[in-house]
Amino acid sequence: MTAPAIPPTEVPVNRLRPRRSCLAVPGSNPRFLEKAQGLPADQVFLDLEDACAPLAKEGARHTIVDALNKGDWTGKIRVVRVNDWTTHWTYRDVVTVVEGAGHNLDCLMLPKVQDAQQIVALDLLLTQIEKTMGFEVGRIGIEAQIENAKGLVNVDAIAAASPRLETIVFGPADFMASISMKTLVVGQQPPGYGADAYHYILMRILMAARTHDLQAIDGPYLQIRDVDAFREVAGRAAALGYDGKWVLHPGQIDAANEIFSPAQEDFDHAELILDAYDYYTSEAGGKKGSAMLGDEMIDEASRKMALVIAGKGRAAGMRRTTAFEIPEA
Say if CB 244 and CB 263 are below 8 A apart. no
- Domain assignment of residue 4, yes or no: no
> What DSSP letter does each residue of 293-319 carry, written as one string?
ETTEEE-HHHHHHHHHHHHHHHHTT--
Q: For strand 296-298 and strand 291-293, is the pairing parallel, antiparallel, or unpaired?
A: antiparallel
**81 annotated as belonging to a binding site for a ligand:** yes
298 plus 228 within the same structural domain: no
147 annotated ligand binder: yes
Whole-number pLDDT of residue 289:
87
Tell me if 58 is assigned to a ligand binding site: no
| Count of domains forming the chain | 2
Q: Is residue 329 part of a domain?
A: no
Task: Give which of 246, 41, 14, 208 is closest to 113, Cα–Cα.
Answer: 208
Q: Which residues are CB-neighbours of 232 under 8 A, at least 6 positions away?
A: none
Q: Is the pTM of this model over 0.85?
A: yes
pLDDT tens column, 208-258: 999 999 999 999 999 999 999 999 999 999 999 999 999 999 999 999 999
Mean pLDDT by 10 residues, the chain (329 residues): 40 65 97 97 97 96 98 97 98 98 98 98 98 96 97 98 97 91 80 89 97 96 92 95 96 96 91 91 88 89 90 87 86
Q: Is residue 12 part of a domain?
A: no
Asked if 102 and 128 touch (Cβ cutoff 8 Å), the reply is no
Task: State whether 245 and 300 are in the same domain.
Answer: no
Length of the chain: 329
Domain that holds residue 203: 21-260
Report which secondary-structure segment, H or E, holds 109: strand 107-110
Instruction: Provide the pLDDT for residue 258.
Output: 96
pLDDT score at 15 = 55
Same domain, 245 and 311: no
Predicted confidence at residue 79, as pLDDT, reads 98
Q: What are phi and psi of 206, to 5 degrees?
A: -60, -45
